[in-house]
Structure 1
Amino acid sequence: MLLVTGASGFLGAHVVAEAIQRGRAVRAGMRRSSDRSRLDALAPQAQTAWLDLDDSATLDAALAGCTAIIHCAAYGVDYRQSDFYTALETNVAATMRLAEAAASRGVRLVHVGTSYEYGTQDGLLAEDRVLSPTGIYGVTKAAGTLAVQDFARRTGADCTVLRPFSMYGPLEGTHKIVAAAMRASLAGEMLDLSPGAQERDYLYVADVAAACIDVATAATFPRGEILNICSGEGLSLRALLTAAAQAVGGNEGVFRWGAKAYRPAESMRVVGDPARIAKVLRWRATTSLAEGMAATARWELERLQREGESS
């Protein structure tokens, strides 16, 4: 049995769906207050485990019979979540309570970190790069990773850390750039953007979900490892959003490239080194940009249709 925390979130819901597709027993861990619309769309048959990492009773119930946890729950990836102390509690303290509970039961912990832990460094980023995070999300996620690593070293607990790079895919928040670009191109609404030459390591979310399941169920668990989930290839923002508009049959002319300046200290190339995960798990990203955008477009068009019917 796998437990996925943050199962109502973008990545968490896709991890649950991937586990079910593989025939794995899985519990979708989430707070009672969570919006489970993503999960209802991707994996409506998923077994829900009401989970609050501050509440030992819900944690005990969620962990019963589990062999591995994929810890996707986090605070701050949405820029609208901006309280430092909530980020510190969620991304560090609650993560450590989960790690301790897992270790006491002999359960594997796959802690999902983020490429934001590297900060604004340019170049090909390997797992041994010195961390230089910025912002509350990057800083607290890096602290969570360091705490999990230290705990594993001290106790021998089965913990590993995954660092996904930039994700896109079905049912991402509508404030995120791919969904926003698709919607703007369909509506004919102008979208002010930077010049768009910055490159990122973009991944289709189902590829990331597959890596999470691969690690959690590996015959030999990579205890103590940090593994980038990345392609090793850079793609410009301009190319990404052009593909998004084309996938929905929208108007690329709405993108006002250069209407905004690059962010202060903007990194022009942030790409992960996939060598370690390829060696440890023989994992690689397999979904092409065209395939990923086509699937994302289908879901986005359906979501727009539902919104129109309910308005």
Structure 2
Amino acid sequence: MKICVTGAAGFIGSHLCERLLQIKDVEVIGIDGLIDPGLMPVKQRNLSQLLSNPRFHFHQVDLRQANLKKLLEDVQVVYHLAALPGVRSSWGDHFQAYVDHNILATQILLEAVRELSLEKFIYISTSSVYGERVGQVAEDAIPAPLSPYGVSKLTGEYLCKVYQANYGLPLVILRYFTVYGPRQRSDMAFYRFIDGILHHRPVQIYGDGLQTRDFTFVKDCVEGTIAVLQADGVIGETINIGGKERTSIIEVIVLIEKLLNEKAILEFKEKSKGDPRNTWADIAKAQTLLKYNPISSLQTGLERQIADFCGL
């Protein structure tokens, strides 16, 4: 089976590629534009083991400019992870980049695959499309994103649905909830917390720190994502991929302090525009359709992320 992964050099994308290559007779076409020079060392590290595998073929290309029909020749499944992330950075003049990479690039990819005989097209979305919710949120909740980033990802979902309706695209949408773990980007919360505490620098907290998140360990997230390959009855479905524990930001920092045996220097900042107070995934559909069962506790996941951070 030949599978394409866009965003293959990213945090989650590289973990997904590694897991796919553990499956016998799977060949992975990895696409990544490596568009942020500041992330180049991180992405090169993410790719290092993948590039040694003869069943992994990497293409450093921008989706908006690539000869996608040639790259996607004989591909049976597409995982579309490539996107510009970040809620706080999606406001103002920065939004044009989100339009380019999250909306336009998705439409160009959809045009390239619409005549292919795909088995599945898996679009990776985000809990940011839900906006502010009370309690667990299921997939049938009406989306109400709070940030331009969330709007860009929801627009990508709607584009995919348009191609499904008109061209029979075998679409599956996965909405990830706050993924963490080894190789997390340096702008993401857990990385910043670990880095700040280890180096005795102020740890910035946006808001009061009592906001909660449904934290999802990357290995669990990838297992749910992989399960789509063999799952029946998932075409046309939108499925939440959440974690095992919902915890506040302050509680996370206390746990990291304990694991590092260091004290954090907290610096409270104004609440970020576009960040919901709480996120909490209803994963009943994933449990039914994908047999999804997140098993990593927050402590175990943080131990693994800290070990990776420290090069252990």
TM-score (norm 2): 0.87
Q: CA RMSD in A?
A: 2.3
Paired AA for residue 310 in structure 2: L
Q: In 2 relative to 1, CA 120–219 (structure 1 residues): closer, same or farther, beyond 3 Å?
A: closer
Structure 1 stretch 286-295 or stretch 260-269: which is displaced more? 260-269
Paired AA for residue 78 in structure 2: I
Q: Deviations over 1:229-263 (max 9, x none)?
A: 0137421112222223333x24134235xx34544
Partner of 1:93: 104
- Contact kept, 8 Å, 2:87 with 2:274, in 1: the verdict is no
Number of equivalences:
298
1:276 corresponds to 2:278 = no
Q: Distance in 1 between matches of 2:188 and 2:96?
A: 24
Partner of 1:199: 212
1:141 corresponds to 2:153 = yes
Q: Distance in 2 between matches of 1:111 and 1:153?
A: 15
1:297 corresponds to 2:306 = yes
Q: Distance in 1 between matches of 2:264 and 2:60?
A: 45
Give the percent of matched residue pairs that are identical in Structure 1 and Structure 2.
Answer: 23
Paired AA for residue 62 in structure 2: D
Q: Distance in 2 between matches of 1:170 and 1:233?
A: 18
Q: In 2 relative to 1, CA 62–241 (structure 1 residues): closer, same or farther, beyond 3 Å?
A: farther
Q: In 2 relative to 1, CA 55–92 (structure 1 residues): closer, same or farther, beyond 3 Å?
A: same
Partner of 1:309: none
Partner of 1:308: none
SS of residue matched to 2:112: helix
Paired AA for residue 221 in structure 2: V
Paired AA for residue 10 in structure 2: G
Paired AA for residue 23 in structure 2: R
SS of residue matched to 1:239: helix
Paired AA for residue 166 in structure 2: R
Gaps of 5+ in 1: 304-311
Q: Give the Å deviation of 1:27.
A: 1.8
Q: Deviations over 1:259-297 (max 9, x none)?
A: 345446864321011011111111121211122111101
- Contact kept, 8 Å, 2:139 with 2:239, in 1: the verdict is yes
Partner of 2:18: 17
- Contact kept, 8 Å, 2:88 with 2:274, in 1: the verdict is no
- Contact kept, 8 Å, 1:50 with 1:62, in 2: the verdict is no
Q: In 2 relative to 1, CA 232–130 (structure 1 residues): closer, same or farther, beyond 3 Å?
A: farther
Query: Which residue of 30, 34, 46 maps to 1:39?
Result: 46
TM-score (norm 1): 0.87
Q: Deviations over 1:40-75 (max 9, x none)?
A: 355342421233322352x12321221101100012
* Pairing 1:39-188 to 2, within 5 Å after superposition: 39-41=46-48, 43-45=50-52, 46-55=56-65, 57=67, 59-77=68-86, 79-80=88-89, 83-107=94-118, 108-188=120-200
Gaps of 5+ in 2: none
Partner of 1:236: 248
